[in-house]
Structure 1
C-alpha cells in the first residue's frame, strides 16, 4: 500500500514559499496545491495568510504578469485574458488594472501583424470559407469581434 506524504504546517509553508517564489501564483493555484498535499482547511488558511503577509502571494501582481505574458507570447486578446482571469477568481478590479497595462497602439499593432500573417497562411479558395477560418481563429483567441471583422475585411477580399 502506498502511504501518502504528510507535511507539518512549517514544512508546507516552506514548500509553498518556494512554489510562489518560482512563479507568480494566484490564490486558487496555491489552495489547490495545498489540498493536493492533504493539508487540513485550517492549515491551508494559516499558510495562505502567511504567504500574503510575506508578499509571496499577490493577486494584482499575478494578474499583471499573467496578462503581460499571455498577450506578448501567446497573443491572446482582452476577452480571452479576462475570461481566464475570471476562471482563476481574480477580482474585477485587478482584471481591469492588468488589462490597462496593455497599450492600445501595441494591441492594434499586434492584431494587424497577426492578421497579415494569418491571412497569408490560410489556403482556401472560397473567400467566405477563408474569412470564416480567419474570424474563428481570432475570436477563439479572445480578440474583440468588431476588431476581428474589421481586419477580416481589410485582409481578405
Structure 2
C-alpha cells in the first residue's frame, strides 16, 4: 500500500504560505524549502513567492531585522555570528548590514560584558590559561569580535 502525497493547488499552497509567513518572519529560502517540501513545481513556487512579496507577507529586510533582534537579545550572539547565520539563509548583504545597524553600540557592549562576566564566573577551571581559553572559545563561538574577546578575557582572567 502506497501513501499518496498530499497535493496542493496554487491557491491552497498560497493560503498555507500566507499563514506560515504571518505566524513568524521568514526568509525567501525557508519559504522556497517549505514549498519544495509540499511538492510544488518551480513555476508555482515562483508565482507564490511573488504573491507573498507583493502582499507583504514576505519581506527579507524585515526578516533580517527580526532575526538579528531576536538572536542578539535571546541567544546573545555577536555581529559576526549574526551575519554568518543570515548569509547561510541567503539574505542579501544590504539587508544584513541594515539589520546589524539596528543594534545600538552601547547595548552591544553592555550585552557582551554581561555575557563574558557571567561565563567567566561559571567556568570551574582552576588553571588560568585553560580558563581564559574556555572563555575565549565560548565568546568567539557566539560570534563576538576577537579584539573585544581577547581584551575582555585578559581583563577578567589576568
TM-score range relative to shorter protein: over 0.9
The CA deviation at 1:133 is 0.2
Aligned to 1:62: 63
Equivalent residues, number: 157
1:34 maps to what in 2? 35
Secondary structure, aligned partner of 2:87: helix
Question: Quick one: distance in 2 between partners of 1:45 and 1:114?
Answer: 43
TM-score when normalising by structure 2: 0.99
Deviation at 1:125, TM superposition (A): 1.0
- CA shift digits 1:5-53 (9 cap, x unpaired): 0000000000000000000000000000000000000000000000000
Which residue in 1 is equivalent to 2:23? 22
Structure 1 residue aligned with 2:125 = 124
Alpha-carbon shift at residue 89 of structure 1 (Å): 0.6
1:6-155, aligned counterparts within 5 Å? 6-155=7-156
Shift of 1:115: 1.1
Counterparts of 1:150 and 1:73 in 2: how far apart (Å)?
24
Deviations 1:48-88 (A, max 9, x none): 00000000000000000000000000000000000000001
Runs of at least 5 residues in structure 1 that lack an aligned partner in the other structure: none
Aligned counterparts of 1:92 and 1:115: Cα–Cα separation in 2 = 28
Deviation at 1:116, TM superposition (A): 1.1
Q: How much has 1:97 moved relative to structure 2?
A: 0.2
